[in-house]
Amino acid sequence: MKDVSFGEAMRRKYPEWVVLISTVDEAGTPDVMPAGWAMVASHAPPTFAIGVAYTRYTYELIQKSKEFVVAFPGPGLEKAIEYTGSCSGRDVPDKVAQSGLRTLAAKTVACPLLGGCVVNLECTHAGELETGDHAVIAGRVEACHIDESVPARLLNFGAQFFPALPRK
């Protein structure tokens, strides 16, 4: 075994799942941020956790609204993931429209669902853990949606996105 830095070790974590986190500002304008740090945190009650840097606009919006949507993107959303990850909603007035993402009305939260995603989870803020430069935010899952026409979920390979094996 070779001793390495944390950064060096983390370069070997790929592939990893990528999610899109949908939020909304006080005026109702949606914002989306891709994230690699996401996981199921509980089955009962259903809870999904995401890691978000304190400096991100998404963190600010979640703190204000106490809700968000986690979506599992499918093939065809690679450019939208790259775009939404390369700019901030603080600086781009309608980042979601610029990204080409299709939004749909959610059932229980103001944040939009995202078209082209295998799964959309509507979440309300259930708590968070301070972990350094990021917060792990737990979202109580209020509603779940699937799109059976999306064949697979995208994986992040570090600089590129590829579909996981298709569902059977």
d(CA 106, CA 113): 6
Sequence spans of domains, the chain: 20-158
Angle at 77 between CA 76 and CA 80, to 5 degrees: 140
Identify the helix (H) or strand (E) that includes residue 95: helix 95-99
Supply the pLDDT for residue 37. 92
Q: Quick one: which of 54, 74, 99 has its CA closest to 151?
A: 74
pLDDT of residue 111: 98
* Residue-by-residue pLDDT tens, the chain, 168 positions: 999 998 889 888 888 889 999 999 999 999 999 999 999 999 999 999 999 999 999 999 999 999 999 999 999 999 999 999 999 999 998 899 999 999 999 999 999 999 999 999 999 999 999 999 999 999 999 999 999 999 999 988 876 666 765 555
- The CATH classification number of 20-158 equals 2.30.110.10
Q: If 0-12 CB within 10 Å is exposed, 13-18 middle and 19+ buried, where does residue 9 land? A: exposed
pLDDT at 64: 97
